[in-house]
Structure 1
């Protein structure tokens, strides 16, 4: 088996033969094979069957020719281990039947035991390491993003309840952050020990906070998490949407890669003083445009990304169902061909 380590080299800001590429949500909604599986199984049912979950994870590697696999699962997968009932509702997202909004509710939260609580995740990782010829990325949701679901009871646009707890009951807030920090560290370490070769934290909704609040209520927790994980020997990636104003603070964290959404180009990020490797950040909506538009936008992104070592091509948010498999296949081939000529 020929091993493709271009993704890991880019994470370490080493020189590449070509720009590596993978797509957030590459395993899932845009694939006909996946949609057929979802007619029979729920997300949780797929993730609890290691062989089936490995099949879903590996499918885009085989189908699109991408340079990394990302484990198919949900950021809420470890949350039931805390004693919280989570339901993933189609078209809605994670729903919590009893939101966590008091100190007493936070105090009642349990602790994760990864080998017991998420053994199915670890078994899938072990299985995939035997099957893949590209690196396997695994992930967790960041404490703020997980907390927003726990407190709001589900997805939110304004995060009023989350901010209310943060501002009005800092004792409860910081206890919650500590518990989610411990969960994230234990969960991540177990995944890495099982064979994960890179670890990404999705702080999807932290852009809802301003810089001062991020520094006060979130950054110390994130620093503790990444400081603990940096000794595990795998690249660490941080990604969130609408977080341009937080990038300089992210750059100070002990991470290897910053994932950009589509609002900030690689050149802009570097002009802001970002020194980490960069991952991103084609607007996935462009993938519905004619090929000439996709190629032009991809070329611009590649040219900017390749100005410095340490660039991974990705989308600025997850792939959605309307994107055609053929489009991703053609884009992946173009990225490899175009960048290899430039780098050669």
Structure 2
């Protein structure tokens, strides 16, 4: 058992395990060197390249989990969706009508991005820490399909579409739910040891709309992944107003973005492991402040199991040395001693020296 899996299973570990969203990404010079040889979509679809990129941060840092290098849009290609990356996802033919939705295929487990399972197996052969698989939540995938990948005005166009075409919306969400379940089950069968569902655009909706168009489909996905050995992580962005709804989701771990104090999330989500939530912007400048900001997050995470992470994906302009500094701070923070009021072991009560 690893410290990451212990915490995900609900154990209040002595130190917080740490991994970083987008940890295999553009802030790493090794990744940028590979980007000079391969396009992004090519890297996602080549199992050996995806496995190599997944391993890059683990060779540089002492992280407690790996996350598979891929993209939440990956399974949509097998539904008949044309996707380009420039650099973010662009859907060349948006889904706007009931006829558009009906044209989308549900390819089944064997036909949903089979190269991802190959990448999972390749990583497991060489990875010494748990591997996290992931997918986009149905509402988030639908957002990109309808708005063609753009995020103008917080995807206001998609919010209008939900109200204008509820029949098409429900059919689209049903199909995306089926594909997402197949996709994640395939990853689990190939060997991932945890899964994260990215509900990236949940926070742009009011509670009543999310309760109708988001929550039931996300619940279906998570409920279908009922292997007790594979913890489920749910992560939404800008969604403090939805925490009460998230309490009903069958997920062992709830990711929290940087806007919501972990202590507030702890009160709203009793019995859950919390994950997060250092602001990614903190990592870019003022290295002298990094350790104390990380310790502030760690203190907020006391009172129950906590997995340290950022409150969103790491920024491409993040210095590599700043990442190392945060990891060292997390490793040196004794949660049990701090909770007892003694401060981290070997320190003066203020945490690991900056």
Range of TM-score over shorter length = over 0.9
How far 1:116 moved relative to its partner? Answer: 3.6
Which segment drifts farther, 153-162 or 4-13?
153-162
How far 1:289 moved relative to its partner? Answer: 3.0
Whole-Å separation in 1 of the counterparts to 2:12 and 2:58: 22
How far 1:114 moved relative to its partner? Answer: 3.8
1:222 counterpart residue number = 218
2:80 counterpart residue number = 83
Q: Where does 1:117-266 land on structure 2 (aligned, <5 Å)?
A: 117-158=112-153, 159-231=155-227, 233-266=229-262
How far 1:299 moved relative to its partner? Answer: 0.9
Q: Where does 1:10-29 land on structure 2 (aligned, <5 Å)?
A: 10-29=7-26
1:253-289 deviation line (CA, Å, top 9, x unaligned): 1111110000011112123354311000000111123
How far 1:340 moved relative to its partner? Answer: 6.6
List alignment gaps of at least 5 residues for structure 2.
339-344, 346-354
Q: TM-score, normalised by structure 1?
A: 0.94
- Aligned-CA RMSD value: 1.6
1:168-226 deviation line (CA, Å, top 9, x unaligned): 22111110010000000000000000001000010111111000111112211111111
Runs of 4+ off more than 4 Å: none
Give 2:50's match in structure 1, choosing from 50, 53, 59.
53
Secondary structure at the aligned position of 2:196 is classed as: strand
Whole-Å separation in 1 of the counterparts to 2:328 and 2:336: 12
Whole-Å separation in 2 of the counterparts to 1:341 and 1:244: 27
Whole-Å separation in 1 of the counterparts to 2:270 and 2:210: 18
Whole-Å separation in 1 of the counterparts to 2:269 and 2:251: 15
Whole-Å separation in 2 of the counterparts to 1:47 and 1:217: 29
Q: Where does 1:309-324 land on structure 2 (aligned, <5 Å)?
A: 310-324=305-319
Whole-Å separation in 2 of the counterparts to 1:290 and 1:341: 29
List alignment gaps of at least 5 residues for structure 1.
none
**Matched positions, count:** 338
CA contact (8 A) 1:64 1:325 kept: no
Q: Structure 1 residue 332 and structure 2 residue 348: aligned?
A: no
Whole-Å separation in 2 of the counterparts to 1:240 and 1:155: 18
Whole-Å separation in 2 of the counterparts to 1:339 and 1:232: 28
Q: TM-score, normalised by structure 2?
A: 0.92
